[in-house]
Amino acid sequence: MPGTFASCVLTALLLSLTWADHHHHHQESELSCHKLSSPNADFAFALYKSLNAQTAAGKNIFFSPLGISTALSMLSTGASGETHSQLFSSLGYSTLNQTQVNEAYEHLLHMLGQSQEHQQLNLGNAVALHSGFNPLEKFLNDVKHYYSGEMFTVDFFKPQEAATEINTYIANKTHDKIKNMVKDLDSNTVMVLINYVYFRGEWVSPFSSSNTHKEDFQVDENTKVQVDMMINTDYYTFYRDSENHTTILVLPYKGNTSMMIAMPDNGKMKEVEGLINKDYIRHWHNKLLKSYVEVHIPKFSISTGASLENILKEMGITDAFGDNADFSAMSDNVELKVSKVSHQAFLSVDETGTEAAATTTVEVTTKNLPFIIRVNQPFLVFILERSSRNVLFMGKISDPTAVGNTGTGISKTVALEDQS
Ligand SMILES: *[C@@H]1O[C@H](CO)[C@@H](O)[C@H](O)[C@H]1NC(C)=O
Ligand SMILES: *[C@@H]1O[C@H](CO)[C@@H](O)[C@H](O)[C@H]1NC(C)=O
Ligand SMILES: *[C@@H]1O[C@H](CO)[C@@H](O)[C@H](O)[C@H]1NC(C)=O
Ligand SMILES: *[C@@H]1O[C@H](CO)[C@@H](O)[C@H](O)[C@H]1NC(C)=O
């Protein structure tokens, strides 16, 4: 029976998101969204390969490729010159212009935003703006219009309070699955771009919890762990690709999404990961056959987190992070760069279905650290009247907390000095 999925499960990328496009009716939207599905899938696999290269063996990888593409596209609306070209070519959008990409996201967000009875999929964007920082009107309008971006102001001079406000916002959007997204914010941050994806799907064919029992899961040659294995027997679509050493199984959710599991044969993970790209997924999708299958799927819940700066640099997005950064379409009076790109994701699979969430944040800071002046030792003070050039008041403040020097100066002509 080919349906016993008791060993390695390849990361269940939320691929359904990029494939969902095909179900759409509206002609214009279909064309527009379709423009993104192929470059976004290539970006997803390129990102997977980079993440995998820097992830220790035996560790999980889970992320939302669509979430990261969306956050970087929003960033690129504020980029110009070489900074923009690098973002666009790494995202696979070289043949498109920013307007086309923006319109495609507008359609995609609109399409995914239509809620269904048994499936919840929320993809959204926001910008946390520093109070007192005024980005160009066009940038804000594009983010609001095309990316449905919500704006809120925070005070980055109080980095901890700002982080708390941003994290509260993200926790709310991800149903508390991602609670501590940003920390250690720079006090010269002016903006944090936020993307969140939240998904909750119910299996078309739920598992019965009375069937769930402990089974081995072979992490690698030498490591076995015990998992809660869920078991169900029903008609499922699957494909056994012996040439490419992989078994494919699709578990549909109610609505328009499904989970595709691609499990390489014992010892073949590295080989399959090395080859895999969107054409494999498409090929496997086309080969699926429905059959009566007993499936064994682990019940699990994982969280992952990654800093993406180095990976994005390797992928060709370099200028955005350095002194060459050109975000002149965001602000024409303050020089900006990206200091951090972070991603966190969550996945939980149980008898009833799946819950998954991911957040991407892009922290935008001023290029130069502000010059800090702390008046924290005794100082001289003068209050000057400009037109007549008179010194109205003057003094020396040795201890700003010593308030009680009544009588000082007024009745004594000797010296206007502190008598304490
Ligand atoms: C973007 O490309 C479209 C289609 O080729 C074209 O109609 C539009 O004028 C271009 N927009 C910009 C801003 O270059
Ligand atoms: C799901 O697909 C159906 C038909 O294929 C379509 O009518 C519906 O709008 C889709 N829902 C979403 C959220 O895309
Ligand atoms: C998020 O906050 C809004 C407004 O306070 C509230 O109505 C909503 O239920 C919250 N959502 C979640 C998932 O907690
Ligand atoms: C193995 O993968 C390649 C590339 O997707 C495909 O052309 C080939 O048909 C696959 N083999 C089988 C048996 O499906």
Q: Specify the pTM.
A: 0.83
Which ligand approaches the C-alpha of residue 24 most closely? Answer: 2
Calculate the average pLDDT of the chain.
84
* Together in a domain, 398 and 330: no
| Kind of pairing between the strands at 353-366 and 336-349 | antiparallel
Model pLDDT, residue 115 = 61
* Together in a domain, 303 and 158: yes
Cβ < 6 Å from ligand 1: which residues? Answer: 97, 99-100
Query: Using one digit for the tens of pLDDT, what is the confidence trace for 277-290?
Result: 989 988 998 999 99
Model pLDDT, residue 220 = 86
| Segment among 5-9, 82-86, 215-219, 254-258 with least mean pLDDT | 5-9
Model pLDDT, residue 336 = 95
Is the pLDDT score of 322 beyond 70?
yes
Closest residue to atom 10 of ligand 3, CA basis: 172
Tell me the mean pLDDT in the region 245-270: 89
* Together in a domain, 152 and 168: yes
CA distance 309 to 319: 11
Model pLDDT, residue 418 = 43
Query: Using one digit for the tens of pLDDT, what is the confidence trace for 377-404?
Result: 777 776 766 666 676 677 787 888 876 6
Cβ–Cβ under 8 Å, residues 107 and 25: no
* Together in a domain, 404 and 368: no
Count the domains in the chain: 2
Distance from Cα 28 to the centre of ligand 1, integer Å: 16
Tokens of 77: 């609306």
Is the pLDDT score of 214 beyond 90?
yes
Mutate to test the pocket of ligand 4, among 242, 243, 245, 247 (most ligand atoms within 8 A of CB): 243
Burial 267-284 (b: 16+ CB within 10 A, else e): eebeebbeebebebbeeb
CA distance 402 to 420: 9
Which ligand approaches the C-alpha of residue 121 most closely? Answer: 2
Which ligand approaches the C-alpha of residue 248 most closely? Answer: 4
Distances (CA, A) of 330 to 105, 194, 308, 317, 334: 19, 16, 22, 18, 9
Model pLDDT, residue 8 = 33
Distance from Cα 59 to the centre of ligand 4, integer Å: 28
* Together in a domain, 58 and 151: yes
- Domain assignment of residue 338, given as a range: 1-372
* Together in a domain, 353 and 420: no
Mutate to test the pocket of ligand 1, among 94, 99, 138 (most ligand atoms within 8 A of CB): 99
> Counting atoms of ligand 4 from 1, which one is nearest the CA of 280?
5
Is the pLDDT score of 24 beyond 70?
no
Distance from Cα 33 to the centre of ligand 1, integer Å: 16
Is the pLDDT score of 2 beyond 80?
no
> Counting atoms of ligand 3 from 1, which one is nearest the CA of 173?
13
Mutate to test the pocket of ligand 3, among 172, 179, 199 (most ligand atoms within 8 A of CB): 172
Model pLDDT, residue 257 = 85
Which ligand approaches the C-alpha of residue 138 most closely? Answer: 1
Going by the DSSP 8-state scheme, the letter that residue 268 receives in this structure is -
Model pLDDT, residue 310 = 95
Is the pLDDT score of 10 beyond 60?
no
Model pLDDT, residue 18 = 38
* Together in a domain, 240 and 377: no
Question: Which percentage of the chain shows pLDDT scores above 90?
Answer: 61
Mutate to test the pocket of ligand 1, among 93, 100, 138 (most ligand atoms within 8 A of CB): 100
Which residue carries 């990316």 as its tokens?
147
* Together in a domain, 321 and 384: no
Distance from Cα 96 to the centre of ligand 2, integer Å: 27
CA distance 25 to 48: 31
* Together in a domain, 381 and 274: no
Tell me the mean pLDDT in the region 18-22: 38
Find the CATH number of the domain harbouring 347: 3.30.497.10
CA distance 4 to 10: 15
Cβ < 6 Å from ligand 4: which residues? Answer: 241, 243-244, 279-280, 283
Cβ < 6 Å from ligand 2: which residues? Answer: 23, 111, 114, 116, 256
Model pLDDT, residue 28 = 45
Nearest CA-CA partner of 259 in 119, 124, 358:
119
Residue 385 or residue 134, greater confidence: 134
* Together in a domain, 293 and 177: yes
Find the CATH number of the domain harbouring 382: 2.10.310
- Give the E-state strand segments of 331-409 in sequence order: 336-349, 353-366, 379-385, 390-397
Q: Which of 19-23, 33-37, 39-43, 370-374 has the highest mean pLDDT?
A: 39-43
Residues 6+ apart with CB under 8 A from 412: none
* Together in a domain, 13 and 130: yes
Model pLDDT, residue 116 = 66
Distance from Cα 268 to the centre of ligand 1, integer Å: 45
Residues 6+ apart with CB under 8 A from 31: none
Model pLDDT, residue 84 = 98
* Together in a domain, 3 and 140: yes
Mutate to test the pocket of ligand 2, among 253, 254, 256 (most ligand atoms within 8 A of CB): 256
| Helix 27-53 and helix 98-112, axial crossing angle in degrees, nearest 10 | 100
Model pLDDT, residue 369 = 61
Confidence of residue 7 (pLDDT cuts 50, 70, 90): very low
> Counting atoms of ligand 2 from 1, which one is nearest the CA of 113?
13
Is the pLDDT score of 416 beyond 50?
no
Model pLDDT, residue 417 = 43
Confidence of residue 58 (pLDDT cuts 50, 70, 90): confident
Cβ < 6 Å from ligand 3: which residues? Answer: 172, 175
CA distance 85 to 247: 39
Is the pLDDT score of 46 beyond 90?
yes
Is the pLDDT score of 415 beyond 80?
no
Query: Using one digit for the tens of pLDDT, what is the confidence trace for 160-208?
Result: 999 999 999 999 999 999 999 999 998 889 999 999 999 998 999 999 9
